Amino acid sequence: MRKIVSRILLDVLETKKTKNVSNLKIVSIFATSIMEKKQLFEKVSQLFMRYGIKSMTMDEVARQLGISKKTLYQFVDNKKDLVKKMMEFHIDGEQCSLEATFSKCDNAIDEIMEMTKEVGSQMKEMHPSVMFDMRKYHPEAFQILVNHKDEFVRKCIHNNLENGVKEGFYRTNLNPEIVTELYLSMMSSIMNPENTPSKDINVHEVHGEMMRYHIRGIASSKGREYLKQKFREENV
């Protein structure tokens, strides 16, 4: 969201420069532009998650959004641009959401479990072809997802491991650098549709098993006791 807001602000400031409008008007244009793009990319993200990317033409996207194709092209240049901007919006939103979630957690185990819920919820709603479509037809958009994993997720997991060790919930003899790389490798495998072991097993199930494997593998005896309590409370 922060990157999107920055881009919108630059556009609005250019409008001020070329059209000589008042500061109050600029604020109004800025707020309206943010809301319009936020609503549009939220809806586009939902469409792609539900139906896949390749199957959705620009005509169908416009029809589902209830707008004309001409209006849609006021926001994007073409379908590749739409997918790329949708992914930028989605990743910005996910990062803001996770940061807000982490700020409310009491410890490292709560953090990783909340992260698992958020990511798992998205995967549960995701059409099976989304990852394949992005990798094959929209490499720029897929690279945004890869960069998110390699930078933001890497930092989150590494910090979580260090905090968990300090709190006594994770093993004192774990190596945060190695475990972080193992986690990222497993996520990369999940993001590659060719690695799904069976058509009967969906990405959401694979992610759930991966996270149970990860958490139980790093938890100390104190952490395992806390996990049992959490699992009882949440019926996991």
CATH number at residue 191: 1.10.357
96 in any annotated domain:
no
Q: How confident is the model at residue 122 (pLDDT cuts 50, 70, 90)?
A: confident
Largest CA distance in the chain: 65
One domain for residues 46 and 151 = no
147 pLDDT above the threshold of 80: yes
Tokens of 16: 């001020």
What's the angle, vertex CA 62, arms to CA 59 and CA 63, rounded to 5? 85
One domain for residues 117 and 197 = yes
Given this model, what pLDDT does residue 38 score? 82
227 in any annotated domain:
yes
| Number of domains into which the chain is organized | 2
Rounded to an integer, the average pLDDT of 187-202 is 73
Given this model, what pLDDT does residue 16 score? 47
Identify whether the C-beta of residue 82 lies closer than 8 Å to the C-beta of residue 76: yes
85 in any annotated domain:
no
One domain for residues 181 and 218 = yes
Rounded to an integer, the average pLDDT of 69-78 is 91
Q: How confident is the model at residue 194 (pLDDT cuts 50, 70, 90)?
A: confident
Residue range of the domain that includes 132: 105-236
One domain for residues 30 and 114 = no
DSSP 129-184: THHHHHHHH-HHHHHHHHHHIIIIIHHHHHHHHHHHHHHTSB-TT--HHHHHHHHH
Between CA 184 and CA 23 the distance in angstroms is 45
Q: 35, 59, 77: which is the final residue of a domain?
A: 77
Given this model, what pLDDT does residue 148 score? 95
Between CA 67 and CA 47 the distance in angstroms is 14
Given this model, what pLDDT does residue 39 score? 86
Q: 77, 94, 121: which is the final residue of a domain?
A: 77
90 in any annotated domain:
no
One domain for residues 26 and 112 = no
One domain for residues 42 and 110 = no
45 in any annotated domain:
yes
Rounded to an integer, the average pLDDT of 150-171 is 97
CA–chain centroid gap for 171, Å, is: 28
Tokens of 207: 């992610």
Given this model, what pLDDT does residue 197 score? 57
185 pLDDT above the threshold of 80: yes
Three-state secondary-structure class, residue 200: coil
One domain for residues 153 and 234 = yes
More confident residue, 234 or 77: 77
One domain for residues 120 and 192 = yes
One domain for residues 65 and 112 = no
Tokens of 187: 């996520």
Most confident of 29-33, 36-40, 102-106: 102-106
One domain for residues 201 and 136 = yes
Hey, what amino acid is at 116? T
Q: How confident is the model at residue 196 (pLDDT cuts 50, 70, 90)?
A: low
